Structure 1
Amino acid sequence: MEVFEAIRTRRSVRAFKSTPIPEDKIKLILEAGRLAPSAGNIQPWHFIVVRDAEKRKRLSKARWAKFIAEAPVVIVGCGDQRASPRWFHVDVAIAMQNMVLAATGEGLGTCWVGSFNEEEVRELLKIPENYRVVALLAVGYPREKIDVTSKILHFVQRRKKLSEIVSFEEIGRKTSQNLLLLALRLFRFISRIYSS
């Protein structure tokens, strides 16, 4: 799969098959993380591959992360705050995004989890004090077949237009059309909250 195709078709998967992931695919995903750029080329990351069912179950206690228990692999991205105190979060995030794209290219689904109890994760995985947990990445084969066309349409409809997020030379004032779109999105969001 071409890189842009992986970017375009990637989605967050929250329902996984129990099918084990072959070692060569896991290694490729980890290699994609290893090859990521980092500030000063410090590479302050460490990745913990969690396959143990009991550990995955304990990791799934994070908010909105019950699906972690059924993902055959969870990659925990940690950053060495002593090696790169200012940039470790960014560097680990870049490396994990490389992993997401590599996994997508291999026909795997992923879901990035950023809401978790860091102390519980640290204790469970025996993470030393100089490392901070940046994110958990659930990886596995999607349980349902991905209908790429409908998912892309849904994906495209939910994404902002380039004209809404890009400026050249400096950030300009928002046009009245952009403000109207923002108000409409806010109204829809509030309506969903109150209707559920």
Structure 2
Amino acid sequence: MAATVSAPPGPRVLAVLRRRSYRSFRPDPLPAETVRALRDVVASAPSVEGRRSGRVLVVDEPDAVRRMPRAVTAGLVGKINPWLLRSNPPVFLIVTGDSRSGLRDGDRHWYNVDGAVAGQLAVLEATGRGVGSCWVAGFHERSVAEAAGLGEGERPLAVIPVGHPAVGPDSGGSWLGRGWDAAAQRVLSGRRKPLERIAHRGRFGVPFVAGRVPWAARGVQGDEHAVWPGLGPLRPAGGFTGEPVDESRLAALLECARWAPSAENSQIARHVVVEGRTATAALLAAAFPDAAFEGDTLPPLVVVGLAAPFPIRARTREQPFFLIDVPIAVTNLLVAAGELGLGWQAAFRFEHRAVAAHLGVPDDHRVVALAALGFAAEPPAPGPRSPLDQLRPPEQAGGAARSS
């Protein structure tokens, strides 16, 4: 039996918990090693079916960096982020998707998932190195695409300024950005939903009530002198043992998902926890009705990621937030799983409506992801990157379209 978790297990979980949004940056450039690490993380990020329909562009060329704030704030939508004009970040991450040939099932453009996962991995890598960032979803798409030099059919999904945070009046940052940060901390972070409001146990509507995880809080302390080991590649496990996941690990995983960033701090991500091989077998039978999972390789735990309704309708062409915010929360969970001694397998393309019906999910919520978790029977396979849908049975390797 694995030991329970009573303290922060390591630097990667600390990065998940310490991440927050910064909107004002010191003028000094990022070290070349940090920029290189960001490029390595996004290059090795897993993607749906390994297709890499979405990607993250690391922009550090000075002229391009100078053009980006005006591009982001152009047009009516971009005016909601005026702080960016004076924030002075030395690097931008541009999250993009291939709108022409990218993988798609109905209105589910999977490039959103690819970009969200790669973007959040870069944000966590930056956090571990003491570098701040801020997801920005309100911007002028055409202007950003032109400033970033995106190709035909490649559309920007999010912009993430990156730099050393300017904290305090003598930090050299912008007063507007610092003020925005202070207001966000007081107002938005104070509204963060408790775990029992966003997590459910067994079925939707049954609140997940767990013991308090004292170390899983914003501002948690760790070893200030510890050397950041790097995020490393995010790789799925080859299978699971039958040992159940203890309550302390499960609560810690959900807390890490709870602290994920979201559009307007809306926290639309919801999680349904399905425990025990009998229950996970029934869930996977609904998700993959034409396939059979081996009983001795079934995961002991599956966390189903879904999205509550989000009222913003100002985006052009599509409303992708459920395919961005939920994968960001799932990314936090998967990163934490590895440091908690757990393996994972994920799925994004499956029978979403059947899963919703199986779990009693309301019609106005959308099922997005399955994250199977447990103690790994086999270590992750080596390689530069992996698909995000290892949970899918082998006989469905062709990737049949799924319901929305």
TM-score relative to the length of structure 2: 0.38
The CA deviation at 1:54 is 3.0
1:104 is aligned to: 127
Residue of 189, 192, 197 corresponding to 1:164: 197
1:44 is aligned to: 53
Give the Cα–Cα distance (whole angstroms) in 2 for the partners of residues 58 and 49 of structure 1. Answer: 18
Q: CA RMSD in A?
A: 2.5
1:76 is aligned to: 94
Trace 1:149-188 onto structure 2 (pairs within 5 A): 157-172=190-205
1:14 is aligned to: 23
Structure number with higher helix proportion:
1
Residue of 47, 67, 75 corresponding to 2:84: 67
Q: What is the DSSP-based 3-state SS (H/G/I as helix, E as strand, rest coil) of the residue aligned with 1:135?
A: strand
Q: Is the 8 A contact 2:200 2:206 kept in 1?
A: no
The CA deviation at 1:156 is 7.2
- Bigger radius of gyration, 1 or 2? 2
The CA deviation at 1:42 is 1.0
Structure 1: 5+ residue stretches without partners: 146-152, 175-196
1:3 is aligned to: 12
Q: Does 1:25 align with 2:34?
A: yes
The CA deviation string for residues 38-82 of structure 1, in whole angstroms up to 9 with x for no partner, is: 110112233333332531342352331533651111111111121
Give the Cα–Cα distance (whole angstroms) in 2 for the partners of residues 119 and 156 of structure 1. Answer: 31
Give the Cα–Cα distance (whole angstroms) in 2 for the partners of residues 156 and 104 of structure 1. Answer: 18
Mean Cα displacement is larger for which, 57-66 or 110-119?
57-66
Give the Cα–Cα distance (whole angstroms) in 1 for the partners of residues 72 and 141 of structure 2. Answer: 13
Highest relative contact order (Cα 8 Å, sep 6+), 1 or 2? 1
TM-score relative to the length of structure 1: 0.75
Give the Cα–Cα distance (whole angstroms) in 1 for the partners of residues 189 and 147 of structure 2. Answer: 38
Change in CA separation of 1:109 and 1:65 when aligned onto 2, cut-off 3 Å: farther
Give the Cα–Cα distance (whole angstroms) in 1 for the partners of residues 33 and 190 of structure 2. Answer: 35
Trace 1:136-147 onto structure 2 (pairs within 5 A): 136-144=159-167
Give the Cα–Cα distance (whole angstroms) in 1 for the partners of residues 97 and 26 of structure 2. Answer: 29
Give the Cα–Cα distance (whole angstroms) in 2 for the partners of residues 38 and 96 of structure 1. Answer: 12
Q: Is the 8 A contact 1:45 1:77 kept in 2?
A: yes
Q: Is the 8 A contact 1:100 1:110 kept in 2?
A: yes
Q: Is the 8 A contact 1:50 1:56 kept in 2?
A: no
Letter in 2 for 1:95: A
Q: Is the 8 A contact 2:91 2:162 kept in 1?
A: yes
Residue of 129, 137, 143 corresponding to 1:120: 143
Q: What is the DSSP-based 3-state SS (H/G/I as helix, E as strand, rest coil) of the residue aligned with 1:112?
A: coil
